[in-house]
């Protein structure tokens, strides 16, 4: 599953993504693999502790990649 979190701004405003129920639905739909596309700096800088925790977890597992890293492998 590919989830799009395409909010990117200096103020780290994430709109409806800060709603835990919407985030929960988005993250629990994948059966085997989930790819999240978005601005890690915007999501990690948000006021949503859930998103901040998610970004930290993905970073700690070394599963956070920049667009440049992905494009270099193609």
List the chain domain ranges: 10-72
pLDDT at 66 over 80: yes
d(CA 57, CA 63): 9
Secondary structure letter of residue 10 according to DSSP: T
For the segment 48-62, what is each residue's pLDDT rounded down to a tens digit?
Answer: 788 788 888 988 999
pLDDT at 64 over 80: yes
**Residue 40: closest CA among 63, 16, 15:** 63
Best-predicted range by mean pLDDT among 10-14, 42-46, 58-62? 58-62
pLDDT for position 22: 80
DSSP secondary structure, 34-71, as one string: -EEEE-HHHHHTSS-HHHHHHHHHHHHTT----HHHHH
Tokens of 26: 């988005």
């Amino acid at each position: 599953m590919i989830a799009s979190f395409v909010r990117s701004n200096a103020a780290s405003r994430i709109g409806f993504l800060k709603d835990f129920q919407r985030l929960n639905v988005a993250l629990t739909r994948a059966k085997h693999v989930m790819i999240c596309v978005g601005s890690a700096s915007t999501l990690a800088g948000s006021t949503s502790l859930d998103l901040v925790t998610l970004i930290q977890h993905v970073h700690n597992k070394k599963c956070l990649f920049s667009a440049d890293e992905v494009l270099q492998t193609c």
